[in-house]
Amino acid sequence: MSLYDLIKQRKEKISIIGLGYVGMPLAISFAQKADVIGFDISRTKVEQYRKGNDITREVGDEAIKNTTAFFTWEEDYLKKARFHIVAVPTPINTDKTPDLNPLKGACKIVGRNLIKEAIIVFESTVYPGVTEDICVPILEKESGFKCGIDFKVGYSPERINPGDKEHKLKDVIKVVSGMDDESLEIIAKVYELVIEAGVYRAQSIKVAEAAKVIENSQRDINIAFMNELSIIFNKMGLDTNAVLKAAGTKWNFLSFTPGLVGGHCIGVDPYYLTYKAEEIGYHSQIILAGRKINDEMGKYVAENVVKKMIKANIQINGSKVAIFGVTFKENCPDVRNTKVVDIIRELEEYGVSIFVVDPLVNNEELFREYGISLCNINEIRDMDAIIFAVPHEEFKSLKLERVKKMYRQNSNSYNMNHVATTMGQGIVLIDIKGLFDKKEAEELGFLYWRL
């Protein structure tokens, strides 16, 4: 009887190592079909899950309360599983090189709790070769076993899109790979238990690793092109959104928009590919050029905030600016590698006091990561400028009339009619992703700017 059959009959267990935005949906989904052990080194995180609190907001509190998955921070429980899925973060260092320490740490934990005839599948984004050249030696050293004889490995790149309620785990085709035909077939069948869209069997582990790392690199490059267009059109006095709408009427025009590119995927993965390229003697041109543009967009936005404030006759040093949204993308609580922080840091250098509102973010996590504290929306008053950085659903219900009341009303710098605005005075509204209607905003007296 194969390992797949044993898992299906609940005679063998699946373990998920890393219970974040990728690992938690996997644990919840697999628990509907098999016995699951969910492991994370963070006791605090696990305790939240045991209370039924979905801190990822990916599956919901009810799903966690009702799941049969067992959550633990104690690694000894991994000895009870024979099919392991590693879904830990793969960030970058400050010098933009891959930080494989979380992955290596996970390999050590799995290795010292490995039992024979196990299969380990990696989902963390890496450059081609990491699974076989870096992970396998650690597993062998920690376990004392031999890969290919005592255990086998595979790779199945994660395709979770945080905050996306349409493209869920089960709805996206899953790329799978194994070190040989036997492991590939078992891995494919195990994932087919939960992936309704089906699986794609990659030619090799390295092919699967490469496929993942170029998915986000492609998107990064396309967004970088949009950001560059935004910079150009801004200098021309053209509304980028209007230009893209016109161009979008052609059937084969790709639908991308300018914006801040952060997070733990698009803003990180290209550096894994370029790192490996440099290692084999090739210096990336297009990929790194795109990364440079996207990495500098926070500073670019901040510069335009200051320009608009000067145009509105606002004293920059000592001014108050509210920022709505601090996560790396909309409808997601994740603040890792968010480029909104780049805007904050740049404005702080000008002596601006920043007030951040984000209903999705954990205040303690934000402060621990960046030293930034959140404000309640009711505390936002007497502002000199407001930036809508992330278009959360919660913000879409805000009316411009209410936003208008959040500004400093008694300043001589402001004249609320449109005539004054055109003369260089007004209330500064920076709407990065175009959450509001530009024409309506300008008619209400806002000095409006967006990418």
Q: Mind telling me the catalytic residues?
A: 265
In Å, the largest CA–CA distance within the chain is 81
Task: Please check whether residue 102 is in contact with residue 136, taking contact to mean a CB–CB distance below 8 angstroms.
Answer: no
Amino acid at 284: S
Between CA 137 and CA 92 the distance in angstroms is 22
Between CA 434 and CA 390 the distance in angstroms is 10
Q: How far is CA 121 from the centre of its chain?
A: 22
Residues 6+ apart with CB under 8 A from 245: none
Number of H helices, E strands in the chain: 19, 13
The sign one gets for the Cα dihedral 39, 43, 45, 51 is positive
Helix axes 136-143, 101-111, angle to 10 degrees: 30
Burial of 430 (0-12, 13-18, 19+ CB in 10 A): buried
Residue listed under structure tokens 């003697």: 281
Between CA 425 and CA 419 the distance in angstroms is 9
Strand pairing report for 70-72 and 81-86: unpaired
CA distances from 40 to 43, 78, 152, 160, 274 (A): 7, 11, 22, 18, 30
Task: Please check whether residue 270 is in contact with residue 295, taking contact to mean a CB–CB distance below 8 angstroms.
Answer: no
The pair of three-digit structure tokens given for residue 200, joined into one six-digit string: 């794609």
CA distances from 300 to 217, 219, 335 (A): 22, 20, 20
Strand residues in 328-440 grouped as ranges (E): 353-357, 385-388, 427-431
Between CA 16 and CA 37 the distance in angstroms is 6
Q: Which helix (H) or strand (E) holds 79?
A: none
Q: What is the 3-state composition of the chain as percent helix, strand, coil, each rounded to the nearest 5?
A: 40, 15, 45
